Structure 1
C-alpha cells in the first residue's frame, strides 16, 4: 500500500509507517502525477482535493488533518467511492479559548466590563457552540447566527446576520463555502459592513475569505483580531499592521 502525505503533517512517520510505503511532499506540490499510484492521500488545507487531482488514480481513502473542508470536493469523493475523514472540530476548544482570552485581555487593557458587552457569534458549530457556552459562563450576552442550524433545528434564540453584526464584539466561526442556500464566502461585504462601527471588536477566526478584506481595511473599528486571511499564505499587510492580534492561522 502506498501513502502520499503532506510533509507538514505532524509525526506522519510514526503514525502511518505501519500502513505501507510513505511518500511525502509539500502540500502545494502534491499533483496528479504524484498520486497516480497512491492508495491513500493525507493532506492539509494547502492541497486541493478534487477531480483534477484524483481522476485516474488508485486513491481510495483521503484524510485531512485540518478542521476546514473547503479544500476538499466531498461530492466527487462520494461519487467515486473514495472514503473521506477529516479532523473537523479537533481545534474547537483552542479557538474558543483564543477568542475568550482576547476579550479578557482587551477588557483589561481598554478598561471595559465584558459582562456589559454583547457578543455576536456567526457560525455556531464546533467552535461557535463552545464559545457560546464559555461566554454564557462569563456572563456575556450572546447573539447567535447560524441559518443552517436555524433551519434544521428551529432554534428560538438565534438572530439574523445583521443583528449579530450589530453586537459590540463580532466573531466569525463559519466554514468557507461558495454554494448552497447560505454561502459564507465574503459573508461580511459592502452590503452589510455598515453594521460594523468604530466601536466594534471584530474577529476572523474562521476561514480567509469569509470577510471581504478590501472593505475591512477601509473600515474603522475599535479592534481587529485576525487569524485567517483571504489569500493565505499571503496576508493583508494593511490589516496586519493595525491589528491587535494578527496570527498566521
Structure 2
C-alpha cells in the first residue's frame, strides 16, 4: 500500500510503516497530485478532505488523527465507498486540563474562589464530560448544555443555552457543524451575546466559528481565553490582544493526545487491512514517573506545563503554524507524582 500522511501526525514512521510506503507531507501541502496513486490518506486538521482532493484518486481509507470533523466531507467519502475513521476523543483529557489550568491561574491572579463560581459547559461530549468531572471534583458547580444529548438521553439536570451562557465561566466544547437540528456555527451570536457580561470568563477551546468573533471583539468580558479561531492562522488580532491566554489551537496538543490520535487511526487501519497490531506500539509513550514538588495547585500545574508560553510564542502571529507544528513536549497530569493532589478523573 501507498500512504500519504500529514508529517505532524505523531510517530507516523514508527506507527504506520508496517502498511507500506509512506510519503509524509505538511498538511497544507497535501493536494490532488500527491494523493493520486495513494491507497491510504492520514491527516490532521489542516488538510481539506473532499471531492476536490480525492476525485480520481485510489484512496480507499481516510484517517484523521484529530477530534474535529469539519475538515472532512464525510458525505463524499461515504458515496464513494471510502472508509473513514476519526480519532474522536483522543485529545479530550488535554483540553480539559487546559481549561482547568486557566481557571486555577485566574483564581489566583484575580483573587476569587473558583468553588464559588459556576462553570457553563456548552457541549458535553468527550471533552465536556471530562471537564465536568474535573470541575465537580474541585467543587465547581457546573451548568451543562448539550441539546443533542439532552433530547437523546433525557438528562433533566442539563440546562438551556441561555442558562449556561449566564454562568460565571463559560466554555465551548462543541464540534463545528453547519446543519442539522442544532448547528454550532456561530452558536454564540447577536441573539444571545447579551448573556455574556463584563464579569464573564469566556473560553473558546472548541473550534473557530463557534463564537461570532466580530461581536466578541466588541464585548467587554472579565477575561477571554482563546485557543480556537476563525480563519487560522490569520487570526483576529483584536481578540488576540485582549485575551488572557491567546494560544494557537494547541489545547489538545499533549504528547498523549497526539499519540492517541495516531494510535486510534492505526487500530482502525489494522481492521480495514486485516493486519495484526504490533503490540509494542501502545508503549511508545513511556516518560517514567515525573515528579512535581510544589505546595499549591497553581504552581504544580504551571510546572507541569505553563500555557502562558504558548501565548508569548504567537505575539508575532506569523509564528502560529510553525509553533503548532513544533509544539513543546507536554505530558498529561497522570504521568506526574505530585505533592499537591491533582484533579485526575
With the shorter chain as reference, the TM-score category is over 0.9
Partner-residue secondary structure (3-state), 2:85: strand
Q: Partner residue of 1:236?
A: 236
Q: Tell me how far 1:89 sits from its aligned partner.
A: 0.7
Deviation at 1:137, TM superposition (A): 1.1
User: What CA distance in whole angstroms lies between the structure 1 residues aligned with 2:70 and 2:101?
Assistant: 27
Q: Report the alpha carbon displacement of residue 18 of structure 1 after superposing the two structures with TM.
A: 2.1
Tell me, which stretches of 5 or more residues in structure 1 are unaligned?
Answer: none
- Measure the CA separation in 1 of the matches of 2:109 and 2:80: 54
Residue 226 of structure 1 and its aligned partner are, at CA, apart by 0.6
Classify the secondary structure of the residue corresponding to 1:41: strand
Cα displacement (A) at 1:237: 1.0
Q: Distance in 2 between matches of 1:115 and 1:6?
A: 42
Q: Alpha-carbon deviation of 1:107?
A: 0.9
Q: Quick one: distance in 2 between partners of 1:172 and 1:238?
A: 20
Which SS does the other structure have where 1:14 is aligned?
A: helix
- Give 1:147's aligned residue: 147
Give, in whole Å, the separation in 1 of the partners of 2:228 and 2:188: 14
Shift of 1:210: 0.5
Query: Partner of 1:24: helix, strand, or coil?
Result: strand
Question: Deviation at 1:63?
Answer: 0.7
TM-superposed CA distance for 1:10, in Å, is 2.1
What is the CA-CA distance between 1:100 and the residue it aligns to? Answer: 1.0
What's the CA shift for 1:17? Answer: 1.9
Mind listing any 5+ residue stretches in structure 2 that lack a counterpart?
248-345
Q: What is the rounded CA distance, in whole Å, between the counterparts of 1:115 and 1:8 in structure 2?
A: 39
The answer for the alignment partner of 1:25 in structure 2 is: 25
| Higher mean C-alpha deviation, range 88-97 or range 15-24 | 15-24
Following TM superposition, by how much is the alpha carbon of 1:147 offset from its aligned partner in structure 2, in angstroms? 0.7
The 5 A counterparts of 1:102-141 are 102-141=102-141
Q: CA deviation at 1:91?
A: 1.0
Q: Residues 47-68 of structure 1: CA distance to partner in whole angstroms, max 9, x if unpaired?
A: 1111221122111110111111
Q: In the aligned structure 2, how far is the partner of 1:27 from the partner of 1:42?
A: 9
Please tell me whether residue 95 in structure 1 is matched to residue 62 in structure 2.
Answer: no
Post-superposition Cα deviations, 1:114-156, rounded to whole Å, max 9, x if no partner, equal: 1111110000000001111111111111111101111111110
The structural deviation recorded for 1:221 is 0.2
Name the TM-score, length of structure 2 as normaliser: 0.70
SS of 2:232's partner is: coil
Partner of 2:221: 221
Superposition deviation, residue 42 in structure 1:
0.6
Question: How far 1:207 sits from its partner (Å)?
Answer: 0.4
CA distance in 2 between counterparts of 1:33 and 1:113 reads 56
Measured in 1, the distance between the counterparts of 2:121 and 2:16 equals 37
SS at match of 2:45: coil
Deviation sequence 1:86-125 (CA, Å, 0-9, x none): 2211110111111111111111111111111111000000
Distance in 2 separating the partners of 1:102 and 1:169 = 11
Distance 1:32 1:216 in 2: 37
Aligned residues: 247
- Partners of 2:122 and 2:133 lie apart in 1 by 14
Q: What CA distance in whole angstroms lies between the structure 2 residues aligned with 1:45 and 1:15? A: 19
Distance 1:155 1:72 in 2: 30
CA distance in 1, matches of 2:13, 2:133: 37
Instruction: State how far apart, in whole Å, the 2-side matches of 1:7 and 1:116 are.
Output: 44
Quote the Cα distance in structure 2 between the aligned partners of 1:119 and 1:219.
19
CA separation in 2, counterparts of 1:5 and 1:60? 14
In terms of mean alpha carbon deviation, does 173-182 or 27-36 score higher? Answer: 27-36
